[in-house]
Amino acid sequence: MESVNYTISNELYGEGGCSSVYLTSNNENKTYDYITKVYNSNKIGQKEINIMEYINKFSIRNISQLVTHGCTKDDELYLITKRINGLETFQYINMCHNVSENLAKNWFKCLLDSVYDLHNIGIIHGDIKTENILINDMNFINSITLIDFSNSKKLNKGQSSIYTNKLIGTAYYMAPETLNECEYSYQTDIWAMGVTLYTWISGGYPFKSTEKAKLGKYKSMESEKWSHVSTECKDLIKLMLTVDKNKRIT
């Protein structure tokens, strides 16, 4: 596939429910420093492109940036972003089982900066999870990039939440109000951040089921694997995994 200034390879780089991702090179230097997301649903594709075009107007820290977008010869929408060379934090955890509190702290600071900036411009990410957070460089693993805005939503001025007619996102990371009422807000991103931080440190999800998540019954943080984790870190996770969204830390 050809795009102005870019060549989209036939090499599949990744695949999701609504899109396929391909390695992409800049026609000037011929290096595969980009990836192209090709959508099998133009409705979803246009939604993500609109969100990313809006985000590009601002200086948002630690997120994937839209380079360009267009339409293939088969009338499929695509968008091109810079390629991140590191692993998903999900893959890293699978390799190492969990990460130290210090490394999780560095990752969380980057994630917090991203989410703070997004919320300041009215954007709910909508699918924060370990798979959507990439390590920038495997030789320097302290910094990360938040990707995938296909489930993101923009709040209008004065609007505090959005309701959908079905669940959108990843069940393990959904807040109780999302599971119960399909409600999305800044607070649902905070809940997902709590699940993410718990997963980084423990190597597993905090809830055995979505029914447990609805009740806020997360697995104990008093086991051996948590013995070297600070009280401050555990308290932060508890505050983010508060069932009542109005009492959840913001």
Q: What is the 3-state secondary structure (H, E, C) of the chain?
A: CEECCEEEEEEEEEECCCEEEEEEEECCCCCCCEEEEEECCHHHHHHHHHHHHHHCCCCCCCECCEEEEEECCCCCEEEEEECCCCCEHHHHHHHHCCCCHHHHHHHHHHHHHHHHHHHHCCEECCCCCHHHEEEEECCEEEEEEECCCCCCEECCCCCCEEECCCCCCCHHHCCHHHHHHCEEEHHHHHHHHHHHHHHHHHCCCCCCCHHHHHHCCCCCCCCHHHCCCCHHHHHHHHHHCCCCCCCCCC
User: How much is the pLDDT for 2?
Assistant: 55
Catalytic residue among 33, 127, 148, 189: 127
The whole domain housing 22 covers 2-82
Residues 70 and 105 in one domain: no
What pLDDT score does 186 carry?
98
How many structural domains compose the chain?
2
Residue 235 and residue 137 in one domain: yes
| 60 & 151 share domain | no
**Which of 29, 51, 82 is at the close of a domain?**
82
Q: Is there a domain that residue 245 lies in?
A: no
Indicate if 48 and 134 belong to the same structural domain: no
- 82, 112, 137 - which closes a domain: 82
> Which domain CATH number covers 233?
1.10.510.10
Supply the pTM of this predicted model. Answer: 0.95
pLDDT at 1: 61
Which CATH number do you get for residue 61? 3.30.200.20
Residue 26: inside a domain: yes
- Is 155 within a domain? yes
Q: Is residue 246 assigned to a domain?
A: no
Q: Is there a single domain that holds both residue 216 and residue 192?
A: yes
Mean pLDDT by 10 residues, the chain (250 residues): 79 88 90 94 93 97 96 92 94 94 97 98 98 94 96 95 95 98 98 98 96 97 93 98 97
> Would you call 127 a catalytic residue per the annotation?
yes
Examine the domain organization and report whether 182 and 233 are in the same domain.
Answer: yes
On whether both 127 and 220 belong to a single domain, the answer is yes
* Structural domain ending residue among the three candidates 38, 60, 82: 82
